[in-house]
Structure formats: C-alpha cells, structure tokens
Structure 1
C-alpha cells in the first residue's frame, strides 16, 4: 500500500545514505524507487528496499565499484554470485594493503635520506639466486624492454628484490613481462654484524615495523644482456648486490657491475592483477602454429605508431578457443568472446623454452590478456589488446 512507502528522506535517514546518493543510485539503475510521483517527481521506496539501501551503504563504504554494486544487488539469491564478488574485492583490498606497506617503507627510507643526508645511505643487499633460473628469467622478459627515447626508464629491466623473491620486469607500455626467481639467502651489504637471512624466515607481509629485505634497480638493457651472456649455461648460484644505484653480479669466478638507471620504475603490480573470464589451456606449439597460419589484417597504425598484423582470438559460447581472421563472423552466444591482438607481440610472448602447456587468460575485448606457462605461474606476459577500426 502507498501508505507503507518511505519517502526518500526517510530512506536516507534509516539507511545511512544521503538523499543525493539515493538520487544518484536511481539514475545509475542501482536502486530505483518503487514509485515516482508523476507530477512532482518525488521518489518513494517500498519497505523491503530498506535492506537493499543498507547493503548499498556498506558496499559503498568498502569502495566496491559501481558496476559490482549493481551486480551484488541484482544477484540471484542462493547463486553465490554476490559472495564471489565480495571475495574478489577482498583480494583486491589485501593486495592494495601489501602495496601500501611496500610504498610506505620506501617513503620512510626517502624521508630518512632527506632529513639525514650525511648519515643515511640507500639500503643495499647482497643475495644469491640459482644461475639457471636467473638466465631463464632474463630470457622470459627481454622481448618486452622498451625502446622509446622519450621513456628512458623503460629501456631497462627492473630487478626487484622483495623478501624471498627476485622479480624481473620489462615493459614498453603495450606489453609487460614478469619473471620470478627464488632467493636463496640475503644480507645487507657492509654490515658485518648481520648474518645472511634464510628466505624461509622472510614473510611476504611482515608485521608493522619489521624490516624485510627489499631493494630494486633498473638495469640498463646493455648491462642486462651482458649479465645474460655471463651466465651462459652456468649452474650453481649467482651472487647479486642491488641498491645504492649500482648492480653487481658474480658467477663462476667472473664478475660484472654497472650503474643502474636513475629513474623511478612504474608500479607494475596493479597491471598484472587480472581477473580473467576464460582460462584456456593448450600446448605452446599449437598456439604458435595457429597464430602463424591464421589470416590476419594489417593495422596501419598499431603500437609504437607502426603497422602491425592483427589476429583475432575467439572463445565461442561453449568455451572453445580459436584463432581466426579479424573479419570472421562473431558468435552471438552468451559467454562468447573476441579479442584482437598484435600477432607478432603474442608470438614473442610465447616462451621459446616451454614445449609443454600454456595458460591463456582472456577477460574481454579491451582487457589485457596474459600468457602463462603451466609449470611457472610467476613467469608470464601481459599484452594490451588492439582496437580494430569500426
């Protein structure tokens, strides 16, 4: 009955949302009123809408994006869809907290250097990693190093020591490659009183106030190539030292060192957190053959302003994957997906040393796609899709 309806002011008071917020969510098709007065335009809400309004207020407080708020409120009861969205958002928040802790640690070091320029020097760490795995990591990211003279920071490989892992990162803005190498031991340089720390004792997310070995350096591509040549087929361990603007590498009685690029590398972590809709497992050789044999279309102005050959990756309504010509007819079935990519970029992202299974992660036509090897989940590439002319 109309007498049971709440006015917009009453719903605002009882739910914790403001009147302006309720008007916004009506316009955004998130929470529409049960009745709108045709003469005055005044909004009225049904009693059962109070629960939705209170849920909406809490979803807003935790920063859930608008599209996901709409999905939560529209989820079929008992389907589990709303709970899955909450789990995904919680993972994003936890990842953001890890990033915030890491950034605050860096900020504290910068503040120390600023306030005590004579007594504080950047942290430098010496650590060891397996030679074979470092060589494979360099091979996995080298193709993505940028060459734009306007962005000199991208003309190197980021060596990022983070607790028990060394991450190598390279990007040219259109693709990014990341590889992980396990760290065997780590210790501060020039601190004789501090023994090497076993990586088993290093936590990924330490309690507040506890120091975790962390250092990074942007290694110029020429120096990275020299390190790779030094490694050759070497076995055993490689000793590295990062920090204070320099890079030192020693293996098998040979040593190489050089200056790091004096630039802040872009924060790569948010770029590699993907939420794919489809995960396609297939042999690397099969994907390579499909890309080579499939018809492509030439895009006159692709990434870097140069022409590129575009291939179309498709997933049909039943989840079957294929590489087709860009002009192929679209599958209109629910769940079908079409993603256009720079064919040569995707070929370069396929690991040369991975004859086995790949995992291709696809999220949407304008969502980055990832290429992973089944046995090395921390080593993967992310590519931006290509927009085809209308």
Structure 2
C-alpha cells in the first residue's frame, strides 16, 4: 500500500488533488483508516494516478477523465482511444479559434495608439522628501516582474503628473501603487520605467531625512541625495495603463492586525495550486474567508463561494509586509476579483493581488 504522500510524489498529483479526486469518486483509495481518515492506495492505482495527472495537464474535462479511467481499468481500449481523439480535436478547434481571435486583436492593436506610451519629455527636475520616496519604493518593489518575456514589467513606473509622483509595479499577478509629493515642475507630465536594479540603487541612497533631487531627461533618470548620486537608462518599453487596472469593484472590507494576521497566514491551512498553464509553477494558497461582520479568517473549503477567495500565500505575505502599517484594510470582492490591500491612513498607497481559481 502507498500512503497519500507517496502517491503524490510518484504520480505527479498533489495531495490536495488526490483528496479532491477521492471526494469526487474519480480515484478512490484502496483503504481509508477509519480512525485517522488517512488514505492508502494499492500499487496498481499508481498507473491510474499517472494517467489522471497527464489528462489533467492536457485539460481534459473531469467527466471525460472518469470515463477514460473506467475504460483504462477495464481494458476498454476502444473507449479510451475515442475519448482521447475527441479531446485532441476539441483542443485543435479551440486553438484554431484562439489564433483567429488573436489575429484580429493584433490588427486592432496596429490601428490604435497605445494608451500609456512613454512620452518624450524635456528635462524634468523634481524635489522629493527622502523618507516619502523611500516609503513609495518599499511599498511597490515586491510586485515588480522578472519575466524576460515581459521586459516592460521588469521595473517600476515613475508617473509624474500635477506635482505628484506615482510609483507602480506589476508582474500580472499582483500590482502595487504608491504616491509621493514633489516640488518643482508642477505642470510637467513624464513617464519612465526605472529598471528594478536602478530602483534598488535609488532606495539605498534614501537613508536620511533630507530632500533628494530626481531628474529625468530623455531616456535617463538620475537621483541625487546630497553628494551621492545614482543614474541609469530607463527601459525602452510601454507600461500597461495601471489606471484602468486599479478600477476594481468594492468588496467586503476587513481591518486586520497585521502581525496577528501574518501569523495566521503563515500557520494556517494551505492548498496547493499546481499551475494550469505553461510557465506556471506550484504555489501554496491561503483561503481568505470574509464574514459579513468585517472579520477575515484563513480557512478551508466549505463556505459560501461568494465569501471566500484563494490567494498565493507568499504574495499575500509580501503585500502585508510592504503595507508597512500595524493595521491594514483587506478588501475582498467576488472570487475572481482582485484583493485590495490598503492603508487606513493613506488609500493612495495600495496593492492588488489576483485571486487563484480553485479547481477542486
């Protein structure tokens, strides 16, 4: 007999997935300990589990997976072959449709201007309080991307407008926005993407209380702090229009004690997301349950779907730390809506986390 942990290790399915497939009657353990509830699998079930893992990665619907496994265990090769061929045809048709849609979208893109193209600017020189700029960088740095396929997300957007500096970072799965007041060119509008290493070098200079000077000229940005300076070229890309991305519907708001909530997240139950697409890796998920009375807990399945949302636990902990407050507001909307993490005293600085769809 194999334990559920051994079965997970050898089959490619997570422990949580095996539990789900047991509850759904897809892959039922050979024996369940009546006292502990621990699941044990027969040696012959390993092959079925491996088949199940491959079908899941191929995106086959659960109803068809049931039939494939039934045919597999009964040596009904004709049924299995027909189901596999049907799914392949389904995937090919979906891929063809997707290519047509993306072809149309590319044509539409070529006919319209990019909403956040980086404007060429004359020289801009601004003064900022060092602590305020440091706080803005700390609040967003965790959300910067590192995917070489998306180089425009590999830095922090400095969006200067109307006497304020908005600092933005996103890696598609999370976004953070912070604001710092400036003095200098109040009417100037400039947008540049500061590479993450350069942003880190800027942060290292912000260890005092004095004002610092930020200069942008063409594609180069410079930060001066007293007699120290760091400078570099900005990324020559276009950044997504973050103003559209932060327009999320309001949800239930919960004021949390950050230290206590961090401990609850770190020690609470987790589920495992195996990654549903190319390049996506497994991640531990925390299930946030928002009650009508404003309380927020970390729990397990079994609640109303509209009051619970799953989120990458590591991303959540990063966002809580970046909030830099003893108390933060978490805003939980629909299961597919981003989770907003806001400061009670400053709602211009916040982060958004994309939820993770629960498959089981």
User: Shorter-chain TM-score: what band?
Assistant: 0.5 to 0.7
- Whether the aligned pair in 2 keeps the contact of 1:125 and 1:242 (CA below 8 Å) is yes
What SS class does the counterpart of residue 321 from structure 2 fall into? Answer: coil
- Per-residue deviation, 1:315: 1.8
Task: Describe the superposition over 1:184-231 as per-residue Cα deviations: whole angstroms up to 9, x where unpaired.
Answer: x223xxxxxxxxx5xxxxxxxxxxxxxx31111101111111111122
Aligned to 1:242: 216
What SS class does the counterpart of residue 305 from structure 1 fall into? Answer: coil
Aligned to 2:303: 330
Task: Describe the superposition over 1:48-107 as per-residue Cα deviations: whole angstroms up to 9, x where unpaired.
Answer: xxxxxxxxxxxxxxxxxxxxxxxxxxxxxxxxxxxxxxxxxxxxxxxxxxxxxxx99988
Give the one of 309, 327, 336 matched to 1:339: 309
2-structure distance, mates of 1:376, 1:318: 23
2-structure distance, mates of 1:122, 1:319: 46
Q: Compared with structure 1, are the counterparts of its residues 228 and 362 closer, same or farther at alpha carbon in structure 2 (3 Å cutoff)?
A: same
What SS class does the counterpart of residue 240 from structure 2 fall into? Answer: coil
- Per-residue deviation, 1:162: 1.3
- Per-residue deviation, 1:124: 2.8
Structure-to-structure mapping, 1:204-215, within 5 angstroms: 212-215=187-190
- Whether the aligned pair in 1 keeps the contact of 2:124 and 2:216 (CA below 8 Å) is yes
Task: Describe the superposition over 1:220-245 as per-residue Cα deviations: whole angstroms up to 9, x where unpaired.
Answer: 111111111122x2111110012411
- Per-residue deviation, 1:277: 2.1
2-structure distance, mates of 1:300, 1:347: 20
Aligned to 1:370: 340
2-structure distance, mates of 1:373, 1:216: 25
Structure-to-structure mapping, 1:63-78, within 5 angstroms: none
1:300 aligns with 2:270: no
In angstroms, what is the RMSD of aligned CA positions?
Answer: 2.3
Aligned to 1:290: 264
Structure-to-structure mapping, 1:16-165, within 5 angstroms: 122-165=121-164
Aligned to 1:230: 205
Give the one of 158, 181, 184 matched to 1:186: 184
TM-score w.r.t. the length of structure 1 is 0.59
Aligned to 1:387: 357
What SS class does the counterpart of residue 184 from structure 2 fall into? Answer: strand
- Whether the aligned pair in 2 keeps the contact of 1:234 and 1:252 (CA below 8 Å) is no
1-structure distance, mates of 2:273, 2:312: 9
1:262 aligns with 2:232: no
- Whether the aligned pair in 2 keeps the contact of 1:176 and 1:381 (CA below 8 Å) is yes
Q: Compared with structure 1, are the counterparts of its residues 146 and 310 closer, same or farther at alpha carbon in structure 2 (3 Å cutoff)?
A: same
1:315 aligns with 2:287: no
Aligned residues: 247
Tell me, which stretches of 5 or more residues in structure 2 are unaligned? 1-112
Give the one of 171, 193, 197 matched to 1:218: 193
